[in-house]
Amino acid sequence: MQQDPAGVCVDLFGSDLWPDQQKILESVRDHPKTAWRSCHGIGKTYIAARLVLWWLYSFPYSIVLTTAPTWRQVEDLLWKEIRAAHAHSRIPLGGHLPQRATELQIDGKNWAAIGLSTNDPNRFQGYHSEHLLVVVDEAAGVAEDIFEAINGVLTSAHCRLILIGNPTDIGGQFYRAFRTEGWNTGSTAAWQTPNFTHYGITREDIISGEWQQKAKKKPNGDWDWPMPWLITPAWAANALQEWGEHHPAWSARVEGEFPEQGEYNVIPLSWIEQAQDRWPDTISTGSVILGVDVARGGMDKSAIAARQGKKILWVKTYSGLDTQQLAGEVLKEYRATNAMQVNVDVIGLGAGVVDELNLHSDINCREINVSSSSDVRDKDGNRVYQNLRAELWWSLRQALDPKGDELLALPKDGGLLGDLAAPRYSFAKGWIQIEDKEQTKKRLGRSPDEGDAVMLTYAPFKDATVLRLPTKPMVKQYRIERISW
């Protein structure tokens, strides 16, 4: 059992493995430290769960510690897969594993697998075994102090550590593992997975669109993928349309490569993905603010985003609406969410939307000109931002910075992820500059409408005064102001 992890998974657990999953198992068997980066949807959590069970049942009185960036990922993803593999094993495995448990004990805590959260490095202390395995799922999102704590338990003769995940961040331990001696590393791109190799579909086929001539369909018209639960060429083709081949999300989620981004991207891809992961667990409190990015024509879409405190509730997009129709949608959402304020991008057709909203006295509307100047100054009185657009994007960046206190949560949305990861910044004349929307649009292949709508929810409220008009009972009315900074 100890020397044949793939055989154990197939024969004992009844697992259906493909070559790279076998390579991951064998790397952990043969090397103290393994790091494996991959595209989206290769069955990472599936193989991590079987790795846990193989180790635990192959080495008497072994200990397995598992972790991930969030407790939800530990409990609802990795340990859900562990529980399923344990329950469906071809022979009873033994051990106590109740429903929703994140601990599998064979002989108390002296022989057990345990799921740990990453909010406290001290949780990793006190575990000792000759055969100790640590599995870090979605490793790019795990904080540095957790890795320091993990290294503190890897002191015995036969310890193993595996980091596995999408390569979304060019900083941190996961990134360094691929550039440091002592690690056995591997990677999996989309075109190395079964649904591609089965039909001989390559990266070039996805880029050119020729993959559709190679893939086969079922009689009902659906694509006939050999392993439909893994990444498919259709998904990769949609990702290409959504992000383009030079976007960091394409690099990480399709190529399985660390993105060529860093200090010049306003918001790192890994920050966005962490914000999306915490969205289900984030409670929204306080007043709702809407941001409205108005389409400038052509293929652009108008977008409305709703933010309540530190949570983006939703982002909705609209095609083909004139200013009156879009104002009607804004009005509907404003009243449905009982919003406090709506910020409308006035550049282009936005003024027409504001004019329509002016007809409704119960709407607190702000006309935002992102090209206007920013009032923010440093302690010496110098400008910090080139304009209001730079100030708002930087405010959004700070809200997503994992080192911050009030972390914004984002809904899972491929378009929003692409929009937020695309803009770049620079320093010139001593202040922060964000590239204009047309530059982002040219590189992204479309207008970043959803991202701009979210950005507009951060338009400052403090410098403007909203004057209340005489009201009817129980109805608040506001004078709509045109605000510039």
Q: Per residue in 200-246, pLDDT tens?
A: 999 999 999 999 999 999 999 999 999 999 999 999 999 999 888 88
Does 350 share its domain with 386?
yes
Query: What is the percent of the chain where pLDDT is above 90?
Result: 67
Angle value at C-alpha 384, between 378 and 388, nearest 5 degrees? 130
- Residue 398 has a CB neighbour count (10 Å cut-off) of 14
Residue 16 lies in a domain: yes
Determine the Cα–Cα distance for residues 304 and 293; give it in Å rounded to an integer. 7
CATH number at residue 421: 3.30.420.240
The pLDDT-based confidence of 461 (bands split at 50, 70, 90) is low
Residue 92 lies in a domain: yes
Exposed/middle/buried for residue 101 (C-beta within 10 Å: 0-12, 13-18, 19+): middle
Per-residue model confidence (pLDDT) at position 263? 53
Does 156 share its domain with 208?
no
- Least confident range of 36-40, 118-122, 407-411: 118-122
For CA atoms 349, 432, 316, 356, the dihedral sign is: negative
Exposed/middle/buried for residue 78 (C-beta within 10 Å: 0-12, 13-18, 19+): buried
Q: Check whether 475 has a pLDDT greater than 50.
A: no
Which residue range is the domain that position 332 belongs to? 269-456
Q: Which stretches of 383-440 are assigned E, i.e. beta strand?
A: 425-428, 431-434
Residue 477 lies in a domain: no
Determine the Cα–Cα distance for residues 83 and 99; give it in Å rounded to an integer. 8
Largest alpha-carbon pair distance within the chain?
81
Does 410 share its domain with 304?
yes
Determine the Cα–Cα distance for residues 406 and 278; give it in Å rounded to an integer. 12
**What is the tens place of the pLDDT at every residue in 147-180?**
999 999 999 889 999 999 999 887 789 989 998 9
Per-residue model confidence (pLDDT) at position 74? 93
Does 332 share its domain with 240?
no
Does 387 share its domain with 437?
yes
Alpha-carbon dihedral angle through residues 448, 452, 455, 457, given to the nearest 10 degrees: -140
Per-residue model confidence (pLDDT) at position 383? 84
The whole-model pTM stands at 0.74
Domain count, the chain: 3
Average pLDDT over residues 28-43: 96
CATH number at residue 19: 3.40.50.300
Determine the Cα–Cα distance for residues 160 and 356; give it in Å rounded to an integer. 64
Per-residue model confidence (pLDDT) at position 10? 94
In eight-state DSSP terms, residue 223 is B
Question: Is the CB of residue 275 less than 8 Å from the CB of residue 400?
Answer: yes
Residue 208 lies in a domain: yes
Average pLDDT over residues 110-122: 91
At a CB cut-off of 8 Å and minimum separation 6, what does 238 contact?
A: none
